[in-house]
Amino acid sequence: MAPKDETRSELDERSGVSRRFFLKTVGAGGVAASVIDGLQEALPHAQEAGTAAAPAAIGPGPVPITLNVNGQRLSLKVEPRTTLLDALRNHAGQTGNKRVCDRGSCGACTMIIDGRTRYACSTLAIEAQGHDIRSIEGLAKGTVLHPVQQAFAEADGMMCGFCTPGFVMSAVALLEKNPHPTVEEAKRALDGNICRCGTYVRVLEAALKTKGVARG
Amino acid sequence: MKAFSYVDAANEKDALASLGTERNQVLAIGGGMDLLGMMKDYLVQPVRLVNVKRLDATIARTPDGGLRIGSAVRLIDLIEHADARRMYPALVELAEQVGTPQIRNAGTVGGNLNQRPRCWYFRNEEFHCLKKGGATCFSVNGENQFHAIFGEGPCHIVHPSNLAVACLAYGATFRLAGPSGAREVEAEQYFQMPDHNLYAENVLQPNELLTHVTLPAPMAGLKSAAYEVRFKQAHDWPLAFATAALVMEGQTVKSARIVMGAVAPVPWRANEAERALAGKTLSEETAGRAALAAVQGAQPMSRNAYKVRVARTAVTRAILKAGGMKVV
């Protein structure tokens, strides 16, 4: 069986050095990168010969990419198979958006790309280059919450909180386009997000009570 | 998922040059909504992906007054296209029902048409089913409540694309580009039953790309609609649905194309229903009779007999909705 992907280890969070601490301090840095670079050397290149007319293929080893995340340029080195979500969580220390189903089903990874909500778990990082990416980290200004975040806090729109970043991003995308949605419009805009605790009523309340959302 | 190399094709020529002849070795990636899930579950393990999002992503008028839709057009762009909605309402309404906002924001027209079946045995890495080269279709003696009610097998998937159903109803043609040129294939000829092709759901070869969907100009008097019956409003596929394209003269149906979805391994054209409706005055009764004719040949499996009734209702309501009548 093929080896499972790198972030299966996300499940493994025990005492001592936490996975997040480890990834944040080491994973994005030199150690992991140099090991992977070594592996890339060993990969056979024969299958990449292709036909003479074919444009060049990149990978499968890590390749340099540049992402525009929350208005900042982010230079990373990731494999073509790395998703936008994993690139930000595991290679850039931005763990705000969550990896839950990893299949484009739950919405916890929802980011806004070029003004529209997208599942970051089902978007290749390499394909997110050249686009305007906004994640949950980009909303608060210092200690001042974004109006949608503030509304979620006031409406108590969360229980365990794992789905919250995705819901907030979906609500932001909705309200930037349609500042006064009807209940039906809000429900439809939040269709792509799931809360297993079931706090949908409060999430909807938060989305509807938010005032003064403008792209800023 | 398994590591792969990546080609960012600038145009059709580059994309075609990057494909290969062996199935599932080099795959085109559009929105990736289906493909990446398949790869994460190790159902396909391509050595290379070819980005086809930079191919034609426009919706253009054809000389005859129809529309030509590039495969790279995203569902959200189709949904927001005023001409498409006015001319082919069933197609756009079905696009609106796909998955979730995030999926519609990423997914493409080509990807929707070419997505792989959602059969839970096919999707489960642990089941080496007929479609994956195994010896058994596990749905036959298994959990088949969402499987086909038409077709002789040996595989009993239902086709997952809802745009495909509207494409048949509107008489669309697909442009397939390959190494030795392009060919136009009628939507009805594009999709293939499992007894003809077990390992793919259509005639597209591994070294070909579906690049355009051409919809003919709506005929005078064309009235069309789609009706889906769903268990869940989002995040799901319909239990059964239907598209009706009626050419009307007053309240009389001159001719009709009725196509059902989620009932067979391909979009299922209901010729009997079309004949039952032709020449009739549109009413609840004539629509109901056509719907009864549509499901006449159904052969439900052990747990999906209910779908016959659901499909029948979908056909009745699609016809009434197309005719601008009240849908009960």
Instruction: Find residues 5-64 of chain B whose CB sits inside 8 Å of chain A.
Output: 5-10, 13-14, 17-18, 29, 32-33, 36-37, 39-40, 42, 45, 47-49, 51, 53
Long-range CB contact pairs, B139-148, < 8 A, 24+: B139/B301, B140/B301, B141/B302, B143/B303, B144/B301, B144/B302, B144/B303, B144/B304, B145/B303, B145/B304, B145/B306, B146/B120, B146/B237, B146/B239, B146/B262, B146/B304, B147/B119, B147/B301, B147/B304, B148/B263, B148/B264, B148/B265, B148/B301
Phi-psi region of B284 (alpha: psi -120 to 50; beta: other; left: phi over 0): alpha
CB A90 within 8 A of CB A28: yes
Put simply, the answer to whether A54 touches B7 (Cβ < 8 Å) is yes
Strands (E), A56-205: 63-69, 72-78, 110-113, 116-119, 132-134
A39 vs B283: which has the higher pLDDT: B283
Report the gap between the CA of B47 and the closest CA in chain A (Å): 8
B24 chain-A contacts, CB cut-off 8 A: none
Using CA atoms of B137, B142, B144, B149 in order, give the dihedral in degrees to the nearest 10. Answer: 60
pLDDT of residue A211: 81
**Domain B222-322 is of which CATH architecture?**
2-Layer Sandwich (3.30)
Nearest beta carbon to residue B3 from set A81, A107, A191: A81
In chain B, where the domains are located: 222-322
A69-127: per-residue pLDDT in tens?
999 999 999 999 999 999 999 999 999 999 999 999 999 999 999 999 999 999 999 99
Q: Which amino acid is at A116?
A: R
B106 chain-A contacts, CB cut-off 8 A: 118-119, 122-123
Mutate to test the interface with B, among A47, A109, A119, A178 (most CBs of B within 10 A): A119
The secondary structure element, H or E, covering residue A32 is helix A30-42
Would you tell me the crossing angle of helices A200-209 and A164-177 to the nearest 10 degrees?
A: 30
pLDDT of residue A9: 41
- CA angle at residue B276 from B270 to B280, to 5 degrees? 135
A133-191: per-residue pLDDT in tens?
999 999 999 999 999 999 999 999 999 999 999 999 999 999 999 999 999 999 999 99
Residue of A nearest to B233 (CA): A191
Q: Give the global pTM.
A: 0.90
pLDDT tens digit at each of 328 positions of chain B: 999 999 999 999 999 999 999 999 999 999 999 999 999 999 999 999 999 999 999 999 999 999 999 999 999 999 999 999 999 999 999 999 999 999 999 999 999 999 999 999 999 999 999 999 999 999 999 999 999 999 999 999 999 999 999 999 999 999 999 999 999 999 999 999 999 999 999 999 999 999 999 999 999 999 999 999 999 989 999 999 999 999 999 999 999 999 999 999 999 999 999 999 999 999 999 999 999 999 999 999 999 999 999 999 999 999 999 999 988 6
Distances (CA, A) of A145 to A120, A169, A186, B109: 22, 13, 21, 38
Any CB–CB contact under 8 A between B65 and chain A?
no
Nearest beta carbon to residue B33 from set A2, A51, A122: A122
Report the gap between the CA of A50 and the closest CA in chain B (Å): 7
Please report the number of interchain residue pairs, chain A to chain B, with beta-carbon separation below 8 angstroms: 117
pLDDT of residue A54: 77
pLDDT of residue A214: 66
